[in-house]
Structure 1
Amino acid sequence: MIKINDSFVSKLKPPLSGNFIHWDTQYKGFGIRITASSYKSFVFKYILNGKKRVYTIGSNMATTFAKERYKKLMLDVLNGIDPAKEKQNIINSPYLKDLIFTYLEDIKSHLKIKTYNEYKRWIEYDILPYFKKTKLIDITKNQIQSFHLLFVEKKHTGNRCLGILSSFFNWCIDKDLLNINFAKGIKKYKENFRDKMLNEIEVKSILNHLKQCNSINSYAIYLLLLTGARKGELLQAKWSEFDLEKGYWNKPATNTKQKKVHYIPLNSSALEVLNRLKEISNSIYLFYNPSTKTHIKDIKRYWNNLLKETDLQDIRIHDLRHYFASMLINSGEDLYTVGKLIGHSNIQTTTRYAHLQNHRLERASEKVSNYLEGFN
């Protein structure tokens, strides 16, 4: 009875000539091959479409890792996928530019549409121009480091590209095309995350513009400001999610970032806007695009025109959500309540607004000082 583990592999003696495969008695088709020159590699024996094959899993790896690869390969075979054929198809496309799109399509089902499109854009416009003529076997860690250094002025893009390459190299390792992740250990740039908070003058300018505009896009801006919702949650919302009589919005898990159902009460102003929107709506969606026969995907063009006409700069649609949260904090609500309303599943995410709460507490504390000074 043979149980292949690290101890067993380390004690293997080479044959006098050729090679010999030791088969594990517990994992059917899993073996360790050793040559006369003491070279060891893990293998997988399988039968598919009547043909017997021995597939090389890889060498210089822990037995536990090799067994995990074996389990994935076994599952492929059970699903009618020939690992050897898949490997050969990939090897026939040795350039990074070909492989990286195979990788992207392979992980597409695990990505949101927006994330997939972002990955594709970064690959096409940032990664490929640098690696267009590079073969996979020619890539080095120094090359990845040099590539990352090109983005010292565009830290966010540089970090996202490094992340994509790291994921791509892990995919290549999983396909037995590489033995190392060249992006591993390369330090990402420290990003200065933007923390813009709208002031009253800016909000008044936005509201005054919305009052003069009666387009469907203006309703969307109103509701983002009045609910603190994420843009994607609102634009794909359906009327069936709302109870305007009881005053609540029940966001389905498919639409929320945290992938959980999110129930929020609606304030009177939000209900007023929704009722006005309901009067002119003839679709299951709040924001329907008759050209595409589905919900509106974005309101960026409208938002940019709004900023231009109000002479405002450096304000994102997402800043409306931050303003909603800051108003609650400044009015005395605690971080837990604010987090629940804006859909944070982790209270740590809401702590970005803690400084506003601290300012409010400082003002409250100062009232005691002022009161006591009155005795002097």
Structure 2
Amino acid sequence: MTQHVLSSHREIQALKPSGHKTVERFRVSSRHGAGLYIELRGDRVSKRWVYRFRLGNKRPDYVIGTFPSVSLKQAREMHGQAVQLVKQGIDPRYYRAAEVARNTQAWTMQEAYSHWIQHYASSQGRSGYPPTEKTVNQMQRRWRLHLQDELASFRVMDLTRPKLIEVLSTAASKAREEARQCLSLLKALLEYCEDMEQIEESPAATITPKKIKARPSPPKKRFLTLPELRQLLIVLDQGAGRASPSTCNAIKLIIATGARRSEVSQLCWSELDLENGVWTLPGHRVKTRQERRIKLSQYALDVLRLQRQFSHSEYVFESPRKCGAPIGIDVLTRAVKRFQGRDAKEQNLKAPLAHLESFGVHDLRRTVTTAWTDHLDVDKLLADVMIGHSEPRLIATYNRADRWPMQVRVWDRWGETLTRLTSDQHGQGEIAHNTNVIHVQFGNR
């Protein structure tokens, strides 16, 4: 073996087999120490890098790679890594084999997402139940719209915090709340990858909404006063040529019950006991995954009986455009915007409710609970239970009473209130824009 030490790319490139030996090795200088060689074989054109090391009583060879696909600089770097492993008593050959196996088994982000969404859909949440189909669909939509194109091909182990911030910041520039939800999705997904030993630490763990300019919006406070609610109810009764009867009736039932728009839009006749005036929501349709009852006031029953003529399927609020399918929740949202003239870039000031401060469908639930508390003296905890919120865990654990008789009285009295708001004695069905006070008599409590 020649003692000449090679130190440049040009020298290595110029090497040729002498023809006297089957295998020839030449020492190559490296700041990491001795042991690095370039090897030539008479039967091969390529040259390969070899590190000869001592581990115990053995002097094995570690093949680093071939020249020129592995340059001199790269060979020296890999030599340095191998030297450090040997100093720790680790055979670099086995370490590299383990790395290759790990890389082969490494998930891409698309594979990780596919594994995680199945796990997420079947795992119990804080409520003790798996997420609803609607929640799972929302997660799938966010991945598809905001994350898939940018992240799907990345290996999980190669994903960096700066890359996540870049992708999420782009999403935040389009929809701040969606970006915040995407951050929550990625944190859950990458925590799952930690558990599955795909990564040691999630790069999303320390990212905050503030970092991606997606601070949570301040809590919404908008609710309709009774005079404003009266104006909306009258518009719903008249239709105003801006929404179908089914849409108007669905919004009225939200107001009558405080139910979520998804609970109302997908309501089935089989859930209703019209004779006894009770709506039983099955657990799979409730956000808390717990079955709950709603007492249907006379006002609500009148809405449902009126709706009978527009429904020809199992769904109470059947889509007028798609037979046999329920009305979409977005239809309700657009209708409320249309009543306010806010369904286009410029507000239509001729819309019947254009003069009111902007409100949405979800604000109607806040309107209902606020009115119950302010005008019917209902305590906030009972009002929360009636609209389907989870009770605080300590109360739910030690107090199992649902105060159903009290709930029934509240819903009945609320129905009477809604009837009075739209009765002839309050303006012969006309919208009184300047009405600031409405007198409501509730009778004996």
Say whether the fold is shared (TM-score over 0.5).
yes
In the alignment, is the contact (CA less than 8 A) between 1:250 and 1:263 conserved in 2? yes
- Shift in Å, 1:252: 1.2
Which of 344, 358, 362 lines up with 1:318 in the alignment? 362
Change (3 A) 1:314 1:90: farther
- Does structure 2 retain, via aligned residues, the 8 Å contact 1:197–1:323? yes
Q: CA contact under 8 A between 2:280 and 2:294: conserved in structure 1? A: yes
Deviation at 1:139, TM superposition (A): 2.1
Question: Per-residue CA shift, 1:34-69, capped at 9, x if unaligned?
Answer: x99667xxxxxxxxxxxxxxxx9x9xxxxxxxxxxx
Q: Is the 8 A contact 2:223 2:366 kept in 1?
A: yes
Identify which of 281, 284, 294 aligns with 2:314. 284
Distance 1:16 1:109 in 2: 55
Correspondence 1:1-376 to 2 at 5 A: 91=106, 94=108, 96=109, 98-99=110-111, 101-103=113-115, 105-107=117-119, 109-110=121-122, 111-128=131-148, 130-131=150-151, 134-145=154-165, 147-148=167-168, 151=172, 155-189=176-210, 190-191=215-216, 192-213=218-239, 215-289=245-319, 291=322, 293-298=324-329, 299=331, 300-308=333-341, 309-310=351-352, 311=354, 312=356, 314-331=358-375, 332-346=377-391
Residues of 1 paired with 2:104 and 2:281: CA distance? 44
Measured against aligned partners, the alpha-carbon deviations of 1:149-197 in whole angstroms (never above 9, x if no partner) come to 5638954233212111112212333443222111113334452122211
TM-score where L is the length of structure 2: 0.53
What letter matches 1:258 in structure 2? T
Q: 1:347 to 1:178 in 2, by over 3 A?
A: closer
Q: Equivalent residue of 1:249, what SS? A: strand
1:250 and 1:294 mapped to 2: Cα distance?
A: 20
When Rg is computed on C-alpha atoms for both structures, the one with the higher figure is 2
Aligned letter for 1:271? L
Give the TM-score normalised by structure 1: 0.61
Partners of 2:258 and 2:369 within 8 A in 1: yes
Counterpart amino acid of residue 260 in structure 1: Q
1:221-274 Cα deviation digits (max 9, x unpaired): 110011101111112222222222222211111111111111122222112212
Q: CA separation in 1, counterparts of 2:141 and 2:268? A: 30
Deviation of 1:101 (Å): 4.7
- Structure 1 unaligned residues grouped into runs of 5+: 1-13, 18-34, 40-55, 59-83, 349-376
**What do you get for the CA RMSD once the two structures are aligned?**
3.7
Instruction: Tell me the number of residue pairs that the alignment of Structure 1 and Structure 2 aligns.
Output: 273
Give the Cα separation in 2 of the matches to 1:246 and 1:15. Answer: 87
Q: Deviations over 1:280-307 (max 9, x none)?
A: 4333221123725232232233333233
What one-letter code is carried by the residue in structure 2 that aligns with 1:305?
R
What letter corresponds to residue 211 of structure 1 in structure 2?
D
Cα pair distance change 1:137/1:336, threshold 3 Å: closer
CA distance in 2, matches of 1:327, 1:223: 16
Distance 1:201 1:289 in 2: 30
d(CA) in 1 for partners of 2:300 and 2:222? 24
Is 2:116–2:192's contact at 8 Å kept on the other side of the alignment?
Answer: no
In the aligned structure 2, how far is the partner of 1:195 from the partner of 1:161? 25
- What percentage of residue pairs aligned between the two structures are identical? 23
Q: Secondary structure at the match of 2:221?
A: coil
The structure, 1 or 2, with the larger RCO (C-alpha pairs under 8 Å, 6+ apart) is 2
Return the letter of the residue paired with 2:369: A
* Structure (1/2) with the larger helix percentage: 1
Partner of 1:11: none
- Output the amino acid matched with 1:167: A
Q: Is the 8 A contact 2:258 2:387 kept in 1?
A: yes
- 1:90–1:102 Cα change, 3 Å: farther
Structure 2 CA distance for aligned equivalents of residues 321 and 304 of structure 1: 16
Q: Secondary structure at the match of 2:223?
A: coil
AA in 2 matched with 1:278: R
What SS class does the counterpart of residue 285 from structure 2 fall into? coil
Shift in Å at residue 277 of structure 1? 1.9
The runs of 5 or more residues in structure 2 that have no matched partner are 1-54, 59-85, 91-97, 123-130, 342-350, 394-445
